[in-house]
Amino acid sequence: MAAVQNGMKKEELKDAKLEKHQIEKKRKKLKRKAETGSSSSDSSKSGKESPDEKDDSEKKKKKKKKLKKSKQPLNDENYPRLQSTENNLQKPIKIADLQELLFWCLADGQAPSWVLVRNKQHIRRAVVLLVPGLEPSQFGFKPVKGDKHSFLLPSTLKDNTPSELSEFDDIFKLAWPTRSPGDRYRVFSPVNAFLQSVLSNEQKKRRDREMKAMSKSSKPEDYLMSYESFVEDEYPLHPTIKLESESVELPEGWAASKADFHQRPQDPKILAMDCEMVKTENGSEIARVTIVDMKNEVLYDELVKPDFPVTNYVTQFSGITEEKLAPVTTRLADVHAYFLDTIDNNVVLLGHSLNSDLNCLRFVHPHIIDTANIYNHTRGPPSKPALKWLASKWLHKEIQKGGALGHDSAEDAATCVELLKLKVKNGPSFGLFNQDFESIFHRLSRQQPTPLIGAVADYGNPEACIGKAAHKNVSCSNDDEIISAVVTLSDMHNFVWARLREVEQVAEWNVNRANQKQSNGTDSDTSAGEQDNDKIDYSQALAHLNRRIRLLYDSLPSGTLFMIYTGTGNPIEMSRLNGVRQTFRKEYQTKKWDELSVQWTDAENVKLINSVESTRNGLSFFTIK
């Protein structure tokens, strides 16, 4: 711990102490609120208690008893520990089982049958690391298809550990076979598998009641984006959207409509917009702007000359070619002039993921309806549904069939109009999918009598996705920064999730997957950043991991559940085969058989299925500090 603290600046320590004080203050406030609410409701009742009230009373007594036990000083007799009961296993544990172990130790989970947790009331917090790049074979496992016992029971680390990972045996003792979720052709995200929790029956009933209470019909203005949505989806902000104390100054070259976010349109005029962009020396620039009204009549459709030389017309998506833009004289300033003359406070702009369009247009407007928000992806937020999928699912029509000729912005804008009309007709609940999952951070924050708070340390910007519901997010650029962040966070949070990626990068597990997403959604995956890993080999990466795990373990407070899971096995072959399969399916629709660059037969299909099955085999290690 001293090595880490000596590296921290005094200001950072001061901020950490202040944040810890604020967290404790927030916990006490939430606890008082919960106690006050329960006492006031009890005092309003009279007569005999109902069976439900008796059950609630018993639950409160049990919680108080557990809380009293947890405050007892730790000694050899009551120190928490894990005891394996692997003989009860009928199949390998899953990542969901690891999550349930965490809930059982900290919150309201069910007792796992495969491990016994003694004195769990003294477990104060949990730290979970995702460490891809380790394979079951390195720890003595040789899974055989059809033989469940070949990948079922944990192995002792003493005789089955790479020499570079000597600290694993001292800390964990056992390596557990652990399966990732997936189907025949994909391995689903091990990130989501741990950080998304299945809703309880009570939560599902509450959600269903709220959905049922929604009105059967609605008005277009009911779907205007909120301030939170503007910020969350990274829309350019109109000067009137921010609070008065936080003024917004537009960059040079931008334009803002004469509208006010705080004044709702009285007689809204819905205008659907879609833009096409090309790549230039200055990045993406507008090349076509189309506006359609609610009658699907095109009001404005102009090609726009970019300010900088074009480097890529991206014709397969934009439909723009050099020949089309050659005679064009319209500039972005001309588009701004039309917008400022047309778009006022009563105009609502409608579109699909308009944040990218408005950023390229350098134009801001406070009244927006986004079809990517009012309709759900089947996986739920933060995933966004594609416009083409929405058209097929709800309008039963195919759009964007231009192939190499690209998209038609007028068609896309008209599709948004049809989707909004359908939404208005059927009400707010239409186009939403009942999500039986919630963030693990939400579930922990509901715990009583004391809410539990969580944090994430990861590469890139975890707050934008996987850590959206966490109390604290720390963005890091290498594994050493991750470890330092976890040490700090674990002192102030009940649950910390983090990911180490150096081993994965050196093993080149993530090279193919940069272009081939094999998860069941936008993996909630954050950027791996840039590390100077070309100077080390795999053995050195393992040695670095060994050192970091020891440093973290020694720095953790007593009574910490410490867990590592690898997520998957080696995905390289699965990613390669899936890439071939996708190429084949794409070319098969547009080319003749003898013109295909790849072939996909039953033999390749079997290889892919077997590869996916192998990739789903991961490992986990856990102990209590």
CB 177 within 8 A of CB 617: yes
Distance of alpha carbon 90 from its chain centroid, rounded? 31
CA dihedral 601, 607, 613, 615 (to 10 degrees): -120
The confidence score (pLDDT) of residue 206 equals 77
- 266 burial via Cβ count (<10 Å: 0-12, 13-18, 19+): exposed
CB 169 within 8 A of CB 161: yes
39 to 47, 67, 393: CA distances (angstroms): 16, 19, 49
The confidence score (pLDDT) of residue 44 equals 40
If you count DSSP H runs as helices and E runs as strands, how many of each does the chain have, helices first? Answer: 21, 21
Q: Write out the residue limits of the CATH 3.30.420.10 domain(s) in the chain.
A: 216-426
CATH code 3.30.420.10 for 216-426: yes
> The tokens 């300010």 sit on which residue?
307
Question: Distance between CA atoms of 617 and 147, rounded to whole angstroms?
Answer: 14
First-to-last CA distance in the chain?
14
Element (H, E) at 562: strand 560-565
Of 358, 388, 142, the C-alpha closest to 238 is 358
Helices marked H in 497-620: 502-506, 538-555, 572-588, 602-615
604 CB neighbour count, 10 Å cutoff: 15
CB 504 within 8 A of CB 510: yes
Question: Distance between CA atoms of 608 and 574, rounded to whole angstroms?
Answer: 6
Q: Which two tokens stand for residue 300?
A: 């404005």
Q: Which two tokens stand for residue 149?
A: 């016992």
Helices marked H in 530-597: 538-555, 572-588
> The tokens 């659907």 sit on which residue?
272
23 CB neighbour count, 10 Å cutoff: 16
Residues of the chain whose pLDDT is less than 50?
1-10, 33-34, 36-48, 52, 244, 513-527, 529-530
Q: Helices 602-615 and 572-588 meet at what angle, rounded to 10?
A: 140
b/e code 325-341 from CB counts within 10 Å (16+ = b): beeeeeebeebbeebee
The confidence score (pLDDT) of residue 146 equals 82
Q: Which two tokens stand for residue 355?
A: 């944040």
CB 564 within 8 A of CB 131: yes
Q: Write out the residue limits of the CATH 3.40.720 domain(s) in the chain.
A: 95-199+437-578+597-625
Radius of gyration of the chain (CA): 28
Question: Distance between CA atoms of 282 and 308, rounded to whole angstroms?
Answer: 6
CATH entry, 95-199+437-578+597-625, from 1.10.3720, 3.40.720, 3.40.50, 1.10.238: 3.40.720
Q: Which two tokens stand for residue 25?
A: 């203050």
